[in-house]
């Protein structure tokens, strides 16, 4: 989408840059950068506490961003909590929800394809409350084995947590089926939407999930800011995750009471500039047709897959494309380590990801320490994919 590329100043700053690592973090459009700069230049004050106009202006900007984001995901304002990102959001849920639903012998059901941020918090919660973490396996085509998932769900299942889209496979999980399984036994559902939010329309009411978490930097926004959607009936019952300013109603020497939602879960001075930047990112997102952008990403990914199959017999793909695939291409090479491939690509100004992608259980399933990942996005085109292919040819010649 060449008309969009001009919106991202990094490409003017680095002529010839091919950025294919958007699953790790997206580039930022000028509208986001300008909005954050304007906050610091013209509106800088703390929010909620001040009774002077500058503080009230900052508060309006901060809460205005919350309103834009809440409307985009079809949540209420009190259910839309600012966090530092997906990781903090899931840790919040694991810590606070665990206190009201988990007891010894209970089970937390994840998928084997999860990011560490949707594994480690649940392992910590299981250790704390005496619960057990179990993992839904993949079937032969590396999609979730839903028959096995149905067998694993039982009366001890209290929480099911899963990604909307796998950051390694690029596969959209059948989240509605997973939510239905959870509801059949009264389990709470937590969706890691870090990859989903940038590629798919998200309507938490239609999904009927209990929690949905995502990071701003995956969806054109700044780092250090994210969102947790939580069902109000659960948020009301959950204890605070952190204590401090703004999350309290009253503090005495004998104890404290808590503020109303969402402030109950927003202790301390928030990332105000990040929040207004994320609001601007969602304004930018509103101007995109997500159906067209997803088709664009898939087309680029499919073109690369076909090229790899035709001309690179030593390349092994981690998953075959299908209608549930977003265009992300993860691969290994028989003779080139992923880190070496990424280093060669860098000499050609091509940015790809190499490593375990914070998904070591999945890498262990593959029998690999690491893979290389190419993640096309709205500002990429066929020339970018050709540049990666040329870099791969160069790497094969060097490592022949």
User: Is there a catalytic annotation at residue 358?
Assistant: yes
For the chain, how far is it from start to end, CA to CA, in angstroms? 35
In three-state secondary structure terms, 238 is: coil
**CA–CA distance, 300 with 382 (Å, rounded to integer):** 6
- Six token digits for residue 349: 């100004």
**CA–CA distance, 225 with 266 (Å, rounded to integer):** 12
**CA–CA distance, 105 with 156 (Å, rounded to integer):** 7
In three-state secondary structure terms, 302 is: helix
**CA–CA distance, 257 with 248 (Å, rounded to integer):** 6
What domains can be seen in the chain, in order of their start residue? 32-286 (3.40.640.10), 289-398 (3.90.1150.10)
**CA–CA distance, 97 with 330 (Å, rounded to integer):** 34
**CA–CA distance, 165 with 336 (Å, rounded to integer):** 27
**CA–CA distance, 255 with 252 (Å, rounded to integer):** 5
Q: Which of 38, 45, 112 is nearest to 276 (CA)?
A: 38
Catalytic residue among 209, 345, 351, 358: 358
**CA–CA distance, 98 with 121 (Å, rounded to integer):** 10
pTM of the model: 0.97
Which of left, alpha, beta for 355 (phi over 0: left; psi -120 to 50: alpha)? left
Residue located via tokens 């404290």: 256
Look at the alpha carbons of 316, 317, 319, 322 in this order and tell me if their dihedral is positive or negative: negative
In three-state secondary structure terms, 161 is: strand
Q: Determine contact, residues 131/158, Cβ cutoff 8 Å.
A: yes
Give the start-end residues of each E strand in the chain.
18-19, 80-83, 107-111, 132-136, 157-163, 188-192, 211-215, 226-230, 248-252, 255-258, 315-317, 329-333, 350-351, 353-355, 371-374
**CA–CA distance, 112 with 194 (Å, rounded to integer):** 17
**CA–CA distance, 203 with 178 (Å, rounded to integer):** 16
pLDDT tens for each residue of the chain, 400 residues long: 667 999 999 999 999 999 999 999 999 999 999 999 999 999 999 999 889 999 999 999 999 999 999 999 999 999 999 999 999 999 999 999 999 999 999 999 999 999 999 999 999 999 999 999 999 999 999 999 999 999 999 999 999 999 999 999 999 999 999 999 999 999 999 999 999 999 999 999 999 999 999 999 999 999 999 999 999 999 999 999 999 999 999 999 999 999 999 999 999 999 999 999 999 999 999 999 999 999 999 999 999 999 999 999 999 999 999 999 999 999 999 999 999 999 999 999 999 999 999 999 999 999 999 999 999 999 999 999 999 999 999 999 999 7
pLDDT in the model for residue 49: 82
Using CA atoms, how far residue 329 sits from 54, 115, 138, 302, 316, in Å, is 47, 17, 18, 9, 10
Q: At a CB cut-off of 8 Å and minimum separation 6, what does 313 contact?
A: none
Q: Determine contact, residues 215/194, Cβ cutoff 8 Å.
A: yes
């Amino acid at each position: 989408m060449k008309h969009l590329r001009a919106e991202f100043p990094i490409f003017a700053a680095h002529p010839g840059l091919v950025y294919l690592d958007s699953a790790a973090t997206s580039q930022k459009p000028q509208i986001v950068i300008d909005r954050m700069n304007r906050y610091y230049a013209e509106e800088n004050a703390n929010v909620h506490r001040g009774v002077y106009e500058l503080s009230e202006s900052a508060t309006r900007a901060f809460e205005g961003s919350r309103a834009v984001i809440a409307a985009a995901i079809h949540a209420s304002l009190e259910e839309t909590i600012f966090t530092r990102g997906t990781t903090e959001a899931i840790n919040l849920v694991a810590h606070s929800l665990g206190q009201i639903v988990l007891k010894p012998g209970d089970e937390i059901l994840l998928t084997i394809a999860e990011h560490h941020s949707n594994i480690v918090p649940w392992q910590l919660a299981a250790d704390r409350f005496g619960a057990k973490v179990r993992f839904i396996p993949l079937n032969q085509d590396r999609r979730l084995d839903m028959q096995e998932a149905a067998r694993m769900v039982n009366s001890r299942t209290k929480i099911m947590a899963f990604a909307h889209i796998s950051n390694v496979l690029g596969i959209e999980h059948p989240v509605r089926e997973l939510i239905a399984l959870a509801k059949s036994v009264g389990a709470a559902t937590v969706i890691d939407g870090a990859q989903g939010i940038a590629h798919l329309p998200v309507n938490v009411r239609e999904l009927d999930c209990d929690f949905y978490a995502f990071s701003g930097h995956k969806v054109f926004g700044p780092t250090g800011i994210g969102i947790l959607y939580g069902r109000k009936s659960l948020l009301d019952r959950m204890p605070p995750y952190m204590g401090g300013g703004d999350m309290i109603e009253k503090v005495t020497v004998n104890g404290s009471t808590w503020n109303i939602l969402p402030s109950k879960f927003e202790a301390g001075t928030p990332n105000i500039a990040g929040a207004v930047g994320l609001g601007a990112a969602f304004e930018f997102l509103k101007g995109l047709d997500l159906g067209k952008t997803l088709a664009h990403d898939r087309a680029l990914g499919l073109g690369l897959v076909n090229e790899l199959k035709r001309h690179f017999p030593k390349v092994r793909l981690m998953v075959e494309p299908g209608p549930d695939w977003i265009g992300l291409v993860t691969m290994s090479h028989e003779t080139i380590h992923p880190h070496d491939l990424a280093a060669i690509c860098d000499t050609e100004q091509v940015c790809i990801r190499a490593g375990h992608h914070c998904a070591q259980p999945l890498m262990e399933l593959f029998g690999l320490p690491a893979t290389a990942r190419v993640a096309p996005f709205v500002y990429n085109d066929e020339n970018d994919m050709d540049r990666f292919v040329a870099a791969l040819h160069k790497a094969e010649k060097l490592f022949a």
